[in-house]
Structure 1
Amino acid sequence: MIPLLKAKPPPGPARPRPPRPRPPHRLFGGPDSLQRRLLLTAGACLAIALVAAGLSIGFILQRFVRGQIDGRLDDRILSLISDLQPAADGGFSLNRDRDGPPFDRARSGWYWQVRRGEAVLRSGSLDGRDLALPEGPIRRQDRNIPSPADGTGPWGDGLILRILTVEGRGGTPPTIYAASAPTAALRGPVLEALRTLLVCLGLIGLFLFAGVLVQVRLGLRPLRRLRDQLAAVRAGGLDRLPERQPTEVRPLAAEINALLDQNGVNLEHARSQVANLAHGLKTPLATLSIALAETGDARDAALARQVDAMDRRIRHHLRRARTAAVGGHSRTRADVATHVADLAIALRRIHADKTIDFVNAVPDGLTVACDPQDLDEMLGNLTENAFKWCRERVRIGALRRGPEVVIRVEDDGPGLDEAAMAEALIRGRRLDESRPGHGFGLPIVMELAELYGGSVVLDVSELKGLEARLTLPA
């Protein structure tokens, strides 16, 4: 198989091929999409809000649980004050046992202690050890309200302390009341509540993000509808955008409609100018061709062929100008199978001296975004070459390949080598001077295909002859 050789474009400016739009991601959109930006911004704001809410609620829960523990310890201190009585030896004692649960469990962290000078009363949970109180002054809220503090128990366990100092009378040392709770009594309930809180906040965040997603998709739906309407205008299904649009999109739609109206006026002017140019050039050339043909002179016959070549080139460039004036291929379409069938009928009559097995393998309903006359000229040149050089078989097939349609024209003729394929696409170059023609067929096909953003490629066909692949937008 000879490697593919793409046609070299003729000299002169070529229309750039329009970029193919990338389909946006269904959920988040592309990297530059508004939907992605809105969702990421909303997600970040939701995450910040939920984290702030979790920290705030955790702080409130800690304050609440600490308040409950402090209240319980304060009650123990007040009960110690009420039950304290002087002893006969000058010391003091309690008139009843204050080692009820949880202060009766050894090393539990729930301790109480009363100290006046060297005399000390302590809970059974201290197991005979002293409760070390913080050194230095203790922050006092009120003389009758215990002050908070943090400390360490006799066994190195962290404690939450409440301390109340009652001044003595008559030279009596002050009485220091202290009660403690383990720090686990604060962390445990808070952590348990935070686990439940985090699950709830996570569910709330998911529901809120789902709501934001629905809101963003609903909010951007008018833009997607506007895009579809613009595609319909470009494809020829609509002349203008509908005036019924959301308030935010209505000015944009109005500007686009004004642009379409202005382009319509400019296109009508261009069409009239092209028509005038066609009339001004074709009529003198036709008159000159008739005058040269009537003389019968051999030199005039050569001039007549040159006039005919000029006429063909003028018609070709006028067609290009007309196509550009009407907006190119974006608002026209042509059915490939129908045009191939019509061309086959005409070429069978022209080549009635040959028995040709023609196969039209183009599926029904396959259309290209191309002017019907331009499609006839491109297919006509390719099919005429196939009929001219084939031995007995010609086959035309087509298939849809993404946004393009690939048309394959094959024959079982002698074919071309790689160098001849490149030479065949040069304007005015004829590989066989014994056959009629001017050498403009394949270059014209190439120029028209490039005008529509397509291409022409020559290769060896499966029928062992030449294959011409014409690519056009679907």
Structure 2
Amino acid sequence: MSRMSVRGSLRARLLAGSLVWILAALTATGFVLADLFREHVTERFEAELRIHLDQLTANVEFGADAVPRLRAELSDPRLRRPLSGLYWQIDREGGDAVRGMLRSRSLWDTTLEVPRDGPRDGEVHVHAVAGPDRERLVMMERIVRLEDGAAAPLRLIVAADERGMTHPVREFVGLLVIALGVLAAGLVTAVMLQVSIGLAPLKRLSAQLAEIRDGRSRRLEGAFPNEVQPLVDELNAVLSHDAEVVARARTQAGNLAHAIKTPLAVLGNAAMREEGALARLVSDQVATAQRQVDYHLARARAAAATQVPGLRTALRPVVEGLVRVMQRVHAERKLRIAIEAMPDAAAFRGEEQDLQEMLGNLIDNACKWARHAVRVAAVVRDGAVEIVIDDDGPGLSVDARDAMFARGARADEDVPGSGLGLGIVRDLAQLYGGRIELGQAPAGGLRASLILPAA
């Protein structure tokens, strides 16, 4: 897992933290359980040796010739089977040979070599020694003296293969590792499920925010957990506040437009009733002022709209409406205005009025210059919608295309227009993060490509 994925993902942090704690807890548990079981097996093993040693002590006696012997055989049958792993032996204290030394049949013809540690009477010592088949033995010894003290003290020894103690521990540890591994897998699965369920509201919140961004919704809907609901309420409050700010800005822009246009209309009407150079000058300046007001109001409206999330305008209805209008406006020229290759799902992430403003200018400009036909098409790719308007008019040279974006620039003074259309389209597109490009149409005329963010 990369450093960025762990530091940047809440899910990765929770899973990594849980995994560390699960592994640490289960590892500690495994060591503790293994150690407890090892101590238990060791105690049982030594307890069994002590039983054999006590039985050996109870059965040893001296005959009339002061030679030790056993009154009865010890009960465990392994002591009678050669090299069985369980042994006993009797010798003199200090390791001196005993005439007629006693040892179990399981020792066969070998003798246990034991440390010379000299335990006190009745004291039991435990040692690890080598056995007859080079196996490791756990040995237990005891010194026994006769009450009359006539004979030398005896060293009573029992020993058993330590594999009888280590094998159960090894098997238990193997089973414990498997069990803890299964438990760890189950706990990790449970943690992953818990994290997924716990973070599901955040995933749903992200999906709803994406719907707001794409224009499919205007606010966050549904119930969320108590820990997330305050965030949802704050986001909805911010969205509502932004919508109110934009609404007030639009209202103020409309009031300003009405306040300016009314005096301009009065001046224009008065100038139209008069004759002379002054009246024509006033009419021209009033028309210029009205165009400037429309231009800057469109920019202000678009600038406000780009700050509002959730805007979505379907492309086809707007284009179809503009085509019907243009067919009526340019009816005397009998142009063929065709809509081609336009996906029904194509949508612009912005205000409908701004889309109408941009496309209206481009389609109207194409109709003014077209000889017979205008073609409108659209395609959606890479998060953007590209609307292409082609005409079969005379077209423009490369140098003239760049100059057309200057405010008030016109390709032909004989063609009606204000010269502000392409400038408005360019500025509105840039406010939305888009652009407009001019090129040559397949029919030889002008191609205007409007690229806007898709919803």
Q: Same fold by TM (over 0.5)?
A: yes
Aligned length: 442
| Corresponding residue for residue 15 of structure 1 | none
| Displacement after TM superposition at 1:373 (Å) | 1.0
Determine if contact 1:329/1:369 at 8 Å carries over to the other structure.
no
| Corresponding residue for residue 112 of structure 1 | 88
| Displacement after TM superposition at 1:341 (Å) | 1.2
Task: Output aligned runs, 1:62-461, within 5 Å.
Answer: 62-87=38-63, 89-98=65-74, 101-103=77-79, 109-117=85-93, 118=96, 119=98, 120-134=101-115, 143=122, 146-153=124-131, 156-166=134-144, 170=149, 173-228=152-207, 235=215, 237-238=217-218, 245-260=224-239, 262-263=241-242, 265-290=244-269, 307-325=286-304, 328=307, 330-352=309-331, 353=333, 355-356=335-336, 358-390=338-370, 392-401=372-381, 403-412=383-392, 419-432=399-412, 435-459=415-439
Unaligned runs of 5+ in 1: 1-28
Determine if contact 2:350/2:432 at 8 Å carries over to the other structure.
yes
Residues 169-206 of structure 1, C-alpha deviation per residue, up to 9 Å, x if partnerless?
53855433333333433333223233332222222222
Note closer, same or farther for the CA distance 1:344–1:360 as it changes in structure 2 (3 Å cut). Answer: farther
Answering whether residue 19 of structure 2 is matched by residue 39 of structure 1, we say no
Note closer, same or farther for the CA distance 1:330–1:473 as it changes in structure 2 (3 Å cut). Answer: farther
Rounded Cα–Cα distance in structure 1 between residues aligned with 2:111 and 2:136: 15
Answering whether residue 16 of structure 2 is matched by residue 49 of structure 1, we say no
The CA RMSD measured in Å over matched residues stands at 3.8
| Corresponding residue for residue 471 of structure 1 | 452
Determine if contact 2:271/2:280 at 8 Å carries over to the other structure.
yes
Given residue 60 of structure 1, which amino acid in structure 2 is its aligned partner? L
Q: Percent identity?
A: 34
Determine if contact 2:211/2:310 at 8 Å carries over to the other structure.
no
Higher RCO (C-alpha 8 Å, min separation 6)? 1
Note closer, same or farther for the CA distance 1:97–1:228 as it changes in structure 2 (3 Å cut). Answer: same
Note closer, same or farther for the CA distance 1:428–1:171 as it changes in structure 2 (3 Å cut). Answer: farther
| Corresponding residue for residue 10 of structure 1 | none
Determine if contact 1:411/1:467 at 8 Å carries over to the other structure.
no
| Displacement after TM superposition at 1:313 (Å) | 3.6
| Displacement after TM superposition at 1:116 (Å) | 1.8
Note closer, same or farther for the CA distance 1:348–1:379 as it changes in structure 2 (3 Å cut). Answer: same
Note closer, same or farther for the CA distance 1:408–1:180 as it changes in structure 2 (3 Å cut). Answer: farther
Rounded Cα–Cα distance in structure 1 between residues aligned with 2:137 and 2:406: 96
Unaligned runs of 5+ in 2: none
Note closer, same or farther for the CA distance 1:294–1:329 as it changes in structure 2 (3 Å cut). Answer: farther
| Displacement after TM superposition at 1:470 (Å) | 1.8
Rounded Cα–Cα distance in structure 2 between residues aligned with 1:70 and 1:426: 103
Give the 3-state SS of the residue equivalent to 1:406 in structure 2. Answer: strand
| Displacement after TM superposition at 1:34 (Å) | 2.8
| Displacement after TM superposition at 1:376 (Å) | 0.7
Determine if contact 1:109/1:182 at 8 Å carries over to the other structure.
yes
- Higher Rg: 2
Rounded Cα–Cα distance in structure 1 between residues aligned with 2:135 and 2:438: 89
Structure having the higher helix fraction is: 2
Determine if contact 2:305/2:351 at 8 Å carries over to the other structure.
no
Residues 358-381 of structure 1, C-alpha deviation per residue, up to 9 Å, x if partnerless?
233212243322211111111122
